[in-house]
Structure 1
Amino acid sequence: MATNPADTPNPASTPSTPLYRRLARRLQERIDAGAYPAGARLPSEPELSAEFGVNRLTVRQAVAELERAAVVEIRRGVGTFVRPPAVRVSIAVDPRSQRFDLGSVHAALPEAGREDSAADGEFVVAAPPVTGTAEDAEAARQLGRTPQELSRVDSVIRLGGRARAASSYWVPFGPLPAELVRPGRPGNLVLDLARTAGVELEYDWRAFGAVGADLADAELLDVPPGTALLVREGVSCTPDGTPALYVRRRIDGSSARFVLHFRER
């Protein structure tokens, strides 16, 4: 017997909730309960339409809603399949003892329990000129310099065989050595930039936020434009407090998390 998705009470639904969204929530509940496990193919549009007593457009809108939420994957001409749960790497941060800026690669996978991969690490993408974009202007403001005094290098961090983060670094010196900014060069750019400047870097501040992936980051991280990215930005300074590096790191929010440890480990 056909059932309307509005017939079953849902605490997240209200009378004004669109029918397709109520149906999407019913399907989400089935997925969460294991009725449609990871990798399973959802019933077809006609089957769902008949079961829930709604038209096919409503079903199509509901499935599109689940796709936007990264719950299902639509394979054109094949069907709609439940995505496996996101696997997240853990980036450990000890707020009591982390003083020296060692970069984020060295401790990026403390809990992953996997063998190291030669394809993992941080890799230079480009060294774009500092031209006065909004990001360049913010870096100049944070470092107390003019954009013309700064050098920039961009990188991607690969962990577990895939791109996890895109980073941009600005430093108040240059030009940077050609080998340091060679595209594809592996390394730890925080330490490499500190060595180039002949300084030791300490954390000044770090902040966390979120943005939607723009076209450039979407391409680097192989995610759809608009995907939620965690943003970790901040300034590192020399021991006397002089700002010496501004970093803006964008991390695929579906595959990473930050873990703060407040007790000795």
Structure 2
Amino acid sequence: MPNHRRTSPRYLQLARLIQERIDAGEFPAGSRLPSEPEMCAEFGVNRLTVREAVAELERAAAIEIRRGVGTFVRPPVARVSIAVDPRSQRFDMGSTHTSLPDSTAGQGMDVQETITAALPAGTATTDEEAARHLGRPVAVLSRVESVFSIGPESWGISTYWMPSALLPRELAAPGPVENLVRTLADSAGITLEYDWRAFSAIGADIGDADILGVPAGSPLLVREGVSCTPDGEPVLYVRRRIQGERARFVLNFRAPGPPLPQTPASPA
């Protein structure tokens, strides 16, 4: 077995070698990896090394261990592409409708946002942070929790804070919502503009991990920010968490042009 890094533990060397074979298509998605004895014989390592290598690949989400069946290569992860048009970022139009599967396998799946809870803001650290961002007392704020899914899978969690006086009836109870931001703006008779947006990464806490069906500590991409009225009054603070391996933000700096002309194939 080649040593990619002389200082790397032997199990990491083996894990990298197996990953390289997966990337090269030698072990395609859905295929079963060789058994422990087979890998021991092929690579000249002991069972403990094989088990540690397999555990490392499982943590990296490259493989799936099915107890009593075998170890299988996981299919590529389908990503959500969230389109961000820098030319029109003055207005907050809501973002769920721009979240679309970025893979052939995901095409045709419905994007759905569902409110799971609407309640007064309390004493949680996130409630106090929202109050600071909005420049209002916690006592006058409401918090709306939602989950958005693509097909049968939950892909992200959103938490919105807004003045309770502006919370419309449509957002005050659990259920599907077509576009929460537009519903809020239309009900209040206001136009919402972006004040700021920030991006960061965190490990999933137990609550988010349970909703998303991932292990606690899994990487989540966080997009948060404040939206305000045209005169600059903060109205909405949102904190959205998306599975890190399943999302990317795409900045489109130019308008889509006409399709390029097709060049006829040259005769052989």
- Which one-letter code corresponds to 1:43 in the other structure? P
Q: Which amino acid aligns with 2:172?
A: V
Moved more, 173-182 or 83-92: 173-182
Gap change, CA 1:101 and 1:65, over 3 Å in 2? same
Say if 1:18 and 1:128 are closer, same or farther in 2 by CA, change over 3 A: farther
Q: 1:18 aligns with which of 6, 9, 12?
A: 9
Q: Which residue of 2 aligns with 1:122?
A: 113
Alignment of 1:88-237 (within 5 A): 88-109=79-100, 114-115=107-108, 117=110, 120-174=111-165, 176-237=167-228
Distance 2:115 2:82 in 1: 20
Q: Find out whether 1:240 has 2:251 as its counterpart.
A: no
Structure 2: which 5+ residue stretches go unaligned?
A: 257-268
Note if 1:46 corresponds to 2:37: yes
Instruction: State the TM-score, normalized to the length of structure 2.
Output: 0.89
Q: 2:73 matched to 1:82? A: yes
Q: Secondary structure at the match of 1:247?
A: strand
CA contact (8 A) 2:223 2:239 kept: yes
Q: Which amino acid aligns with 2:108?
A: E
Cα pair 2:96 2:113 within 8 Å, conserved: yes
Comparing 27-36 and 103-112, the one that deviates more: 103-112
Post-superposition offset of 1:186: 2.6
**Structure with more of its chain in helix, by fraction:** 2
CA distance in 1 between partners of 2:71 and 2:46 (Å): 18
C-alpha displacement of 1:124? 0.3
After the TM superposition, which residues 27-66 of structure 1 pair with which residues of structure 2 at under 5 Å, given as runs?
A: 27-66=18-57
1:146-168 per-residue CA deviation (whole Å, 9 max, x = no partner) reads 21121100001112432111000
Q: Report the RMSD for the aligned CA atoms in angstroms.
A: 1.8
> Structure 1 pair 242/177, CA: closer, same or farther in 2 (3 Å)?
closer
Q: Secondary structure at the match of 2:143?
A: strand
Q: Which structure 1 residue ranges, 4+ long, deviate > 3 Å from structure 2?
A: 110-117, 174-179
1:155–1:167 CA contact under 8 A, matched in 2: yes
One-letter amino acid of the structure 1 residue matched with residue 23 of structure 2: D
Q: State the Cα distance separating 1:241 from its structure 2 match.
A: 0.5
SS in 1 for 2:164: coil
Q: Secondary structure at the match of 1:241?
A: coil
Contact residue 151 and residue 175 of structure 1 kept, 8 A: no
CA gap of 1:210–1:50, structure 2 versus 1, over 3 A, is same
Tell me which residue corresponds to 1:254. 245
**1:229–1:252 CA contact under 8 A, matched in 2:** yes
The worse-fitting range, judged by mean Cα deviation, of 195-204 and 144-153 is: 195-204
| Contact 1:170 1:247 (C-alpha < 8 Å) held by counterparts | yes
Q: Is the 8 A contact 2:78 2:103 kept in 1?
A: no
Cα 1:222–1:260 shift into 2, 3 Å: same
- Percent sequence identity is 62
Normalised to the residue count of structure 1, the TM-score between the two structures is 0.90
**CA–CA separation in structure 1 for the residues paired with 2:108 and 2:42:** 47
Q: Tell whether the 8 Å contact from 1:91 to 1:110 is kept in structure 2 after alignment.
A: no
Return the alpha-carbon distance in structure 2 between the equivalents of residues 223 and 173 of structure 1: 32
How far residue 253 of structure 1 moved from its aligned partner, in angstroms, is: 1.6
